[in-house]
Amino acid sequence: MTSETPFYGREDELNRLAGLLKKKTSSLVVIKGRRRIGKSRLILEFSNGLKTFTFTGLPPTKNTTAQTQREYFVQQMERLLGLR
């Protein structure tokens, strides 16, 4: 799913992601930056046409621990990928 608005000026980032996709080994990619600079849009544009899975984190609360976050991630993997 891509946006209706044009996507400009991120060719370097798209090429870098495409290079990682061609590797025969896995990579962890962290995309960070100030808010509202197009991180989510970059991911959408790059993943257009690829099979993707979306994982979400738990919102921070006083009861949210690192362990509950890990358990929630595992639950999502089990549901989306069929992994145990």
Same domain, 71 and 46: no
Same domain for 57 and 47? no
Q: How confident is the model at residue 53 (pLDDT cuts 50, 70, 90)?
A: confident
Of 83, 69, 8, 81, the C-alpha closest to 42 is: 8
How many structural domains does the chain have?
A: 2
* Domain shared by 34 and 16, yes or no: yes
| Phi and psi angles of residue 66, each rounded to the nearest 5 degrees, phi first | -60, -40
Confidence of residue 28 (pLDDT cuts 50, 70, 90): confident
Structure-block tokens of residue 59:
């919102």
Residue 1 pLDDT:
56
Q: Are residues 36 and 76 in the same domain?
A: no
| Whether residue 6 is found in the same domain as residue 21 | yes
- Do 10 and 48 have their domain in common? yes
Could you count the other beta carbons within 10 Å of the beta carbon of residue 58?
A: 13
* 81: containing domain: 53-84
Is the pLDDT score of 21 beyond 80? Answer: yes
* Separation CA 23–CA 6 (nearest Å): 29
